[in-house]
Structure 1
Amino acid sequence: MTTKIMALVDALGNLVRFVLMPGQRNDIMGVRPLIEGLTFDALLADKAFDADWLRTELAEREAQAVIPPRKHRKACIDYDAQMYKWRHLVENYFAKIKEFRGIATRYDKTDGSFKANLNLIATLIACR
């Protein structure tokens, strides 16, 4: 089995929250636990997060959805392409945590110890 790390970072690229999911699950399934109880002005995400229910929820929260539409959409949905460029902060965060070999290769046997190591590494990265 593989493990997928779903991470939410702030505008400076610092970890806000993360969720572990089975590797075979769709990315959209991890969004609700990530954004639950948080307030924010915009959510920057890739095409995997293009879902009507998520766009509706973000509109109800008065948050901007900066998500490119999938190709299968009948009507094209506009998004702020200049703001979307800032999504690289998430990719940069994953590059930082993969510098730690234990995370990159998933040495931990249990989800609890893997989460603990992710929290430890997030603390080390924030202290740099």
Structure 2
Amino acid sequence: MGGQTSKIHVAGDRKCRPPAFILTAGQAADSPQFIPVLGRARVRGPVGRPRTRPDAVAGDKAYSSRGNRAHLRKRRIKAVIPKKKDQAANRKKSPQGGRPVSHDADLHKERNTVERLINKLKAWRGIATRYDKTFDNYLAGLHLRASMTWLRDPTRTIR
């Protein structure tokens, strides 16, 4: 698994900074990486040490699974993940039924911060084009670029 066949699974805060990410093989699905990425994320408040439990987690339909929702419910984290059409159809057909998935549309609008974060990471040509042939070199570039987003916005000009 090298840079060319790898996939970045990233969590982002509201300021488009990456509190955690995982690099996997390109054929790895998104949903199984949800809990490991969330486990690495730390939420910084105005005072005190970083928390391991955010108030809410927003994601796209790829992360809508029973396991992910159960994990969030167990940790008392609000899930802002829309349901898939096939999940809604299967819920109606199953004998258990189940409760409908709640969805906060206003919080879901802020999911674009992750997309903007990925665009910031890919502003570096080496990350966008995946020229690094080895996993370690590509991961080192990701760590370097992610640390730069925490230090300052690199697209901003200094006056």
Aligned to 1:14: 17
Gaps of 5+ in 1: none
The amino acid of 1:60's aligned partner reads K
Aligned to 2:149: 125
Q: Which protein is richer in strand relative to its size?
A: 1
Return the match for 1:81 from 94, 105, 108. 105
Listed as ranges, the matches of 1:61-100 within 5 Å are 61-73=75-87, 74=89, 75=91, 76-100=100-124
Which one scores higher on RCO, CA 8 angstroms, separation ≥ 6? 2
Percent identical among aligned pairs is 35
Give the SS at the match of 2:84: coil
Task: With the length of structure 1 as denominator, give the TM-score of the two structures.
Answer: 0.92
Give the SS at the match of 1:15: coil
Q: CA RMSD in A?
A: 1.4
Larger Cα-atom Rg: 2
The amino acid of 2:76's aligned partner reads E
Aligned to 2:94: none
Is residue 58 of structure 2 the alignment partner of residue 34 of structure 1? no
Task: With the length of structure 2 as denominator, give the TM-score of the two structures.
Answer: 0.75
The amino acid of 2:147's aligned partner reads T
The amino acid of 1:99's aligned partner reads A
Give the SS at the match of 1:36: helix
